[in-house]
Amino acid sequence: MIKHYPYKSLGSANHGWLKSKHHFSFAHYYNPTRMGFGKLRVVNDDWVAPGTGFPLHPHRNMEIISFIRSGAITHQDSTGNKGITKGGEIQVMSAGTGIVHSEYNRTQEPLTFYQIWIETNKNNVRPRWESKKSPTEQASALTLLASGYAEDKNKALFINQEARIYGGKLAKDSIIEHDITHQAYILASSGMFKVEDSAGNVTLNKGDGAEVTQSTSIMLSALTDCEIIIIDTID
């Protein structure tokens, strides 16, 4: 079963330097019917102005994943990690026992990225951060970007949860089948595509989201060149 959440239906915040669309309740946006999706707690579609960003702030016991759609984000944290993650790349931070970090757009261009929070399955781990470049070419399948499964150790960044995050670009008219282990939240990063399962189909446009439940596989049909993110995690 697929439930579609159009971009215009999402929560919104506009702080001038930061413009955000919230797929679930976050900060000043509260919707009791949208408190998360299983262990997936936050999906923010963020736009950050050049030369601005998030100053030092703390996190604890949460898996925080950023998929950079365009621009670059500069990370620095209290464990000594520093790094720049660019468009088409992903970064993962396990907050664990507690971490303080900042995220800035140090470039002259706007930064756009998905900020994804997944509840951890192991509290009070040692905090960590790492990033990885994901394929940018238009492929015949989505790439595994992050995973909490041992068998994926050498394929993707690690997260402390039974979850997998996939992403990638599909060329117009591409059709692929994608297997689902638990339940999936789909993000339309760019373009337009159709999602179909045994119960029906929906068409997603840039910025939309969709929940997929009670399905073991879906068909993705690219109606234009598009970029797709899929978060598959336990409920």
Q: CATH no. for residue 226? A: 2.60.120.10
Q: Report pLDDT for 195.
A: 98
Q: Yes or no: say if 40 and 213 are a contact pair by the CB < 8 Å rule.
A: no
Q: Report pLDDT for 135.
A: 63
Average pLDDT over residues 111-126: 98
Number of domains in the chain: 1
Cα–Cα nearest to 18, from 9, 28, 8:
28
Tokens of 147: 């995973």
Burial class (CB in 10 A: 0-12, 13-18, 19+), 177: exposed
Q: Report pLDDT for 136.
A: 61
> Does residue 139 surpass a pLDDT of 80?
no
Span 9-64, pLDDT tens digits = 999 999 999 999 999 999 999 999 999 999 999 999 999 999 999 999 999 999 99
Q: Is 76 helix (H, G, I), strand (E, B) or coil?
A: strand
Q: Report pLDDT for 140.
A: 82
Span 66-109, pLDDT tens digits = 999 999 999 999 999 999 999 999 999 999 999 999 999 999 99
Cα–Cα nearest to 67, from 50, 83, 43:
43
- Give every CB contact of residue 100 below 8 A, 6+ residues apart in sequence: 56, 57, 58, 77, 78
Range of the domain at 77: 2-233
β pairing state of 18-22 and 40-48: antiparallel
Rounded Cα distance, 114 and 108, in Å: 20
> Does residue 210 surpass a pLDDT of 90?
yes
The pLDDT-based confidence of 196 (bands split at 50, 70, 90) is very high
Rounded Cα distance, 80 and 199, in Å: 49
